[in-house]
Structure 1
Amino acid sequence: MTVVLAGATGLVGRAFVRIAGEGDYPVTAVGRRDVEGVAATIRTDFSAPLALPPADVALCALGTTMATAGSRAAFYAVDHVAVLHFAQAALAAGIRHFIVISAVGADPRSPVFYSRVKGETERDLAALGFARLDILRPGLLLGRRRERRPGEALFQRLDPVLRRLLPGPLSRYAGIPAATVAAAMLALCGQGGEGTTIHHNAELRRLASAV
């Protein structure tokens, strides 16, 4: 199985590269910087169309925050434009299975800008026509990031308490380790079938347990 991965330097992307390496799965990373531990790296800033090699699956772990991006336009450029450029390149390379990390609460009609952009991205990916599209909607991603995110760090510390306060369907908003999401992505890489499927925390944990 061969995969191309956008966002290999992020929290989930780094975890995926490590897990894939342990399983001896070749990964081609696509992004702004060179990545250690992968078979190859394609350098791009995703601002223009790009060429990808043939692969079995394309995985997208691209994402930023409003604080990091600095503006709505910059956030949209990463979480929508870059994701769509990567997906279009995957289709052009003949890749029929696409896996993307979105976010819980994604909705193109949401009054919250972050959730609305995530929902619009999901909608536009579904319209591209992949044979199989897996949309991952994790809650708060847990793990050590390279950049400082004070607000997110606070919620990570509070996560054990928050999980007890979020029973049933609300548990999808609780934290989930980035390594669990990465393992779920790897499990999905090996699945066949067609159609679009959305995966929340409980399903991501179930998938990860099989890796």
Structure 2
Amino acid sequence: MFAAFPEISFIWKYENTLDTIADDLPNVFKKTWVPQPMVLAHPKLLAFITHGGMNSVMEAGHAGVPLLGIPLFGDQDRNLKMLEYRKSAVIVEKNHITSEALISAMHKLTDDDSYRTRARTIAALARTKPLSGKQRFIAYFNHAVQFVHAEDQLDIGHRKLDTFRYYNLDIFVTFAAVLAAITYLIVKTVIFFGHRLLRFSHVPLSQKKQN
């Protein structure tokens, strides 16, 4: 893929220093460590190729950089699909990785300015929220202190659930009862028709013809 974009420089975090992969490509710069937030904040950065871990997604979202995502496991697929839905990421599934697929995804991100525009819009929305996380925490903390005497109103009801409801045993018991009832009906139906078939199979042939 790198050779297909000679006009683009790729910074690749690659920790195996003994591997010579891409060493012959002048537009690929392999590093064992990269200051990711600083690189993502660079104004000339076109895209970020990532597996889609939450930290990378959050940092790219804050920087307003579109993603080429290759999810491997865990929450990565969900993280990337959230951005794909918002048209700020292109996903290449790990089971379908080919040079053609990667080149096509890169062309989408570099040729279509809408991906970068949407990524920047998401970043602007995050930066200009009416209240930051710190401000919200302080506001709710002060609110709780102000009404400390109303503990019964601010307390979470779920904290006082009994063991039966806390572990959803009421739901499991109901589900098990319904499942047992359905199983019982199926078994009884099979037995009923089985007996009918057995009785029919023991009727003499002459009697069957008369009937």
Structure 2 length as normaliser, TM-score?
A: 0.38
**Would you tell me which structure has more strand in proportion to its own residues?**
1
The structure whose RCO (Cα within 8 Å, separation 6+) is larger is 1
**Would you tell me which structure has more helix in proportion to its own residues?**
2
Structure 1 length as normaliser, TM-score?
A: 0.38
